[in-house]
Chains A and B, each alone.
Chain A
């Protein structure tokens, strides 16, 4: 669309921002990327103005108007730029399934992922088990033998998970476990997604995520 100004306020390591980078790339939407340093505690004036309630990235800013929360921004992108690469199917039941699974996926980091890098001992073991059990359920109930969560097309639920998947390399090191070994179908799905340019060009370097988390552990005395 002409005369459309799109800005993405994001942080290079953000698994939520990654979702928007992938979606914008899938739809070939031109945008200006603005980096927010979420690792420091300083929030930019732009972030405070565009997301005064939560003060978090990512924020999609379309012609000066902010859309916050990654799934809400994904649906917004899908509704405004509807002519290319639909993220959600047209059928209401299929849409409900995609939203249900995206919501399920969204809780994986808060419930388990975070604890895997920031805790030790029993708490960490519990989180590892929780994550693997949840991923196995996703494999079985949501993905099955399909190419993508939505079937033949890459879409909403895939984008939801690919963001979190980018952190798994670091989580596997901290937790000393292999997600690939436990969830081979998901691993194949991940490799399939990475063949898409929208994904491969948007993904952060997994080693840098690991280094970032090491830094955060030091900063917060979590070693």
Chain B
């Protein structure tokens, strides 16, 4: 019988999706609770009073917050189909690149999405540099090797959001010719059976990001 396991998420958040993928890869049953972030549920506020964000995994009534912390919790609690490497050094490398993804790559791409004029140009240069560093890390089919692992789940958002951003801002961020390995990885990840049934609908994503983009444009009109 499935243990009491709930995941508070939204339909589109890449942070929540990481957890969906992880649970699916490990064959773990759970209940998904979709949150409307403009009207957070009392349970969410009770389970994550500090950050009030999703995802939150609630296992037997106990909440775990922050997507990377949740991924490690899942890997330590359900040991089949391990996500992180077993070797301490390999594990440290995976965690290092995950941190790079969260603190450098994602913000740089987000800055391209929200920025304008000179700021956008600079952000684009930085984003491309960060993508180049990531391209160098791909040695096999996935970051995790032959199978999808922790780092693939952390970077998974690239496989579905990059081209949505490109369409919305009408700018080529990712030149597949320049990034053959990352390009192949994105396709392999996007189509992987454990992953592909969970993608949020693309047209809904485009609409959502179009609205967001307009908000940023009007808040900071080009000078």
Chain A residues with CB under 8 A of B72: 95-96, 99
Tell me how far the C-beta of A7 lies from the nearest C-beta in chain B, rounded to whole angstroms: 15
Chain A residues with CB under 8 A of B77: 92
Q: Given A72-B96, A95-B72, A96-B72, is A137 in contact with B50 using a C-beta cutoff of 8 Å?
A: yes
Q: Is the CB of B95 within 8 A of A72?
A: yes
Q: How many A-B residue pairs have CB under 8 A?
A: 53
Q: Is the CB of B64 within 8 A of A79?
A: no
Q: Is the CB of A76 within 8 A of B64?
A: no
Bound-state Cα–Cα, A67 to B133, Å: 17
Bound-state Cα–Cα, A59 to B65, Å: 28
Q: Is the CB of A100 within 8 A of B66?
A: yes
Bound-state Cα–Cα, A95 to B96, Å: 18
Bound-state Cα–Cα, A72 to B103, Å: 14
Chain B residues with CB under 8 A of A62: 89
Q: Is the CB of B88 within 8 A of A103?
A: no
Which single residue of chain A is at the shortest CB-CB distance from B62? A93
Bound-state Cα–Cα, A104 to B53, Å: 14
Please tell me the size bucket of the interface on B.
20 to 34
Which secondary structure characterizes the binding site on chain B?
A: helix
Binary A-proximity of B31-54 (CB < 8 A = 1, otherwise 0): 000000000000000000010000
Q: Is the CB of A72 within 8 A of B99?
A: yes
The residue that A93 contacts in the complex, of B50, B73, B91, B133, with Cβ under 8 A, is B73
Q: Is the CB of A96 within 8 A of B69?
A: yes
Chain B residues with CB under 8 A of A100: 64-66, 69
- A80, CB-defined interface residue at 8 Å: yes
Interface residues of A in 59-118 (CB under 8 A from B): 62, 65, 67-69, 72-73, 75-76, 79-80, 92-93, 95-96, 99-100, 103-104
Q: Is the CB of B89 within 8 A of A65?
A: yes
Q: Is the CB of A53 within 8 A of B99?
A: no
